[in-house]
């Protein structure tokens, strides 16, 4: 049974007619596009079953946990079919809550605080009176920390996990990233809200998170930054959020926000502010300083996986 060097699957040379074999396989095995469609079909099918069985829980944490099962379960199935460890999809277990996650958490909290501070200087934002006190403050702080971590984990793996890895093999890392970021931004449009001026900003932020994946080989920085920015913007500073499952009625305070939507982010909240383009430029500069590009590796994620010996040697099928 023939097998391409470095492939995780084998191409049976005589099992299929030549034309069908060319459609299904390339020199590395089963084509990336078909693998992605298989994953997408599993996600949609599992989501349909979960929805029909009413397994989505009213508790936000439980609901996100079920949602994550819908994307991680199919990825696990595909990892077994492709004979890859799950770690190659951007979530190495040893990096959970480690250095990259903490750096991302710090970066997100600093960014959102700096943006809100700038709006405060311009007299666009005022914190307002506290709404939560004592036990409720502790309860909802812990709740929002859990909610936004679950949300960031779900979102980052959905966009930059299996999908990014597989499509990247087929059409290139950045082409896949641009396509997936565009689909992510497009998902806001069915809300029917016309105050979505910040969508181009979300696209740029998405590309930055893809860049952190390419430079570090891990999604943990992006997850930490995504989670802490949402905690800061939606709970700590009580700004709007049109993300997955939002907005919430519970806020830390009753702020006063007025000014142009391109500064405040409109109904997207501070995450859609055009001020973020400046912060993204600063973060790219810092990333280039501390995590420079590796020109000698065609796929940094593959380099990181091989370096850490996460990937087992490929085995032939059959």
Question: How does pLDDT run across 180-239, given as a tens digit for each residue?
Answer: 999 999 988 876 666 788 999 999 999 999 999 999 999 999 999 999 999 999 999 999
Tell me, what's the pLDDT at 243?
A: 66
Judged by average pLDDT, the poorest of 41-45, 49-53, 231-235, 279-283 is: 49-53
Residue 196 lies inside a defined structural domain of this protein: yes
Residue 69 lies inside a defined structural domain of this protein: no
* C-alpha triplet 185, 188, 193: angle, nearest 5°: 135
Tell me, what's the pLDDT at 52?
A: 75
Range of the domain at 214: 91-307
Judged by average pLDDT, the poorest of 39-48, 234-243, 289-298 is: 289-298
Residue 129 lies inside a defined structural domain of this protein: yes
Residue 113 lies inside a defined structural domain of this protein: yes
Tell me, what's the pLDDT at 308?
A: 46
Cβ–Cβ < 8 Å for 202, 268: yes
Reported pTM = 0.84
Single out the residue of 109, 235, 98, 222 nearest to residue 161, CA to CA.
222
Residue 27 lies inside a defined structural domain of this protein: no
Judged by average pLDDT, the poorest of 146-155, 192-201, 264-273 is: 192-201
What span, in angstroms and rounded, lies between the C-alpha atoms of 44 and 66?
Answer: 14
| More confident call, 138 vs 317 | 138
Number of domains in the chain: 1
Give strand pairing partners of 125.
Answer: 257
Give strand pairing partners of 207.
Answer: none
**If DSSP codes are grouped into helix, strand and coil, which group holds residue 88?**
helix
Question: What burial class does residue 71 get, using C-beta atoms within 10 Å of its C-beta: 0-12 exposed, 13-18 middle, 19+ buried?
Answer: buried
Q: How confident is the model at residue 58 (pLDDT cuts 50, 70, 90)?
A: low
Residue 46 lies inside a defined structural domain of this protein: no
Cβ–Cβ < 8 Å for 104, 209: no
DSSP conformational letter for 253: B
What span, in angstroms and rounded, lies between the C-alpha atoms of 313 and 114?
Answer: 47
Residue 239 lies inside a defined structural domain of this protein: yes
Q: How confident is the model at residue 264 (pLDDT cuts 50, 70, 90)?
A: very high
Tell me, what's the pLDDT at 24?
A: 64
**Residue 53 pLDDT exceeds 80:** no
- Long-range CB pairs of 93-100 (<8 Å, 24+ gap) are 94/308, 95/218, 95/220, 96/220, 97/220, 98/220, 100/216, 100/218, 100/220, 100/221, 100/224
Q: How confident is the model at residue 67 (pLDDT cuts 50, 70, 90)?
A: confident
Which segments within 5-135 are labelled E, that is strand? 25-26, 29-30, 125-126
Tell me, what's the pLDDT at 33?
A: 85
Q: How confident is the model at residue 139 (pLDDT cuts 50, 70, 90)?
A: very high
Q: How confident is the model at residue 317 (pLDDT cuts 50, 70, 90)?
A: very low
Residue range 115-125: average pLDDT? Answer: 96
Residue range 235-245: average pLDDT? Answer: 79
Find all residues with CB under 8 Å of 32, minimum gap 6, and list them. 166, 167, 168, 169, 170, 171
Q: In this structure, what is the dihedral angle of CA atoms 235, 61, 102, 153, given to the nearest 10 degrees?
A: -110
- Percent of the chain having pLDDT more than 90? 60
- Percent of the chain having pLDDT more than 70? 77
DSSP conformational letter for 270: G
Give strand pairing partners of 30.
Answer: 25
Residue 54 lies inside a defined structural domain of this protein: no
Tell me, what's the pLDDT at 314?
A: 46
Cβ–Cβ < 8 Å for 226, 108: yes
């Amino acid at each position: 049974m023939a097998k391409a060097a470095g492939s995780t699957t084998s191409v049976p040379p005589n099992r299929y007619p030549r034309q069908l074999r060319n459609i299904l396989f390339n020199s590395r095995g089963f084509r990336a596009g078909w693998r992605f469609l298989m994953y997408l079909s599993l996600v949609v099918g599992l989501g349909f079953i979960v929805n029909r069985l009413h397994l989505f829980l009213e508790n936000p944490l439980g609901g996100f946990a079920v949602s994550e099962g819908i994307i991680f379960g199919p990825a696990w199935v595909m990892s077994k079919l492709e004979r890859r460890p799950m770690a190659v999809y951007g979530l190495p277990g040893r990096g959970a809550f480690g250095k990259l996650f903490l750096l991302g958490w710090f970066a997100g909290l600093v960014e959102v605080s700096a943006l809100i501070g700038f709006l405060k200087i311009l007299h666009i934002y005022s914190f307002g009176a506290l709404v939560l006190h004592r036990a409720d403050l502790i309860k909802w702080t812990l709740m929002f920390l859990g909610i936004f971590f679950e949300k960031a984990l779900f979102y980052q793996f959905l966009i930059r996990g299996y999908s990014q890895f597989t499509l990247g093999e087929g059409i290139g890392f950045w082409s896949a990233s641009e396509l997936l970021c565009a689909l992510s931004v497009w998902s806001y449009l069915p809300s029917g809200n016309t105050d979505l001026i910040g969508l181009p900003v979300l696209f740029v932020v998405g590309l930055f998170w893809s860049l952190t994946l390419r430079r570090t080989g891990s999604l943990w920085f992006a997850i930490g930054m995504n989670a802490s920015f949402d905690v800061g913007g939606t709970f700590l500073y009580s700004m709007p959020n049109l993300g997955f499952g939002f907005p919430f009625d519970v806020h830390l305070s009753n702020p006063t926000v007025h000014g142009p939507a391109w500064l405040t982010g409109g109904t997207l909240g501070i995450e859609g502010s055009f001020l973020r383009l400046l912060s993204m430029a600063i973060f790219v500069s810092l990333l280039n300083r501390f995590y420079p590009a590796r020109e000698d590796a065609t796929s940094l994620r593959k380099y990181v996986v091989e370096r850490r010996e996460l990937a087992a040697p490929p085995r032939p099928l059959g």
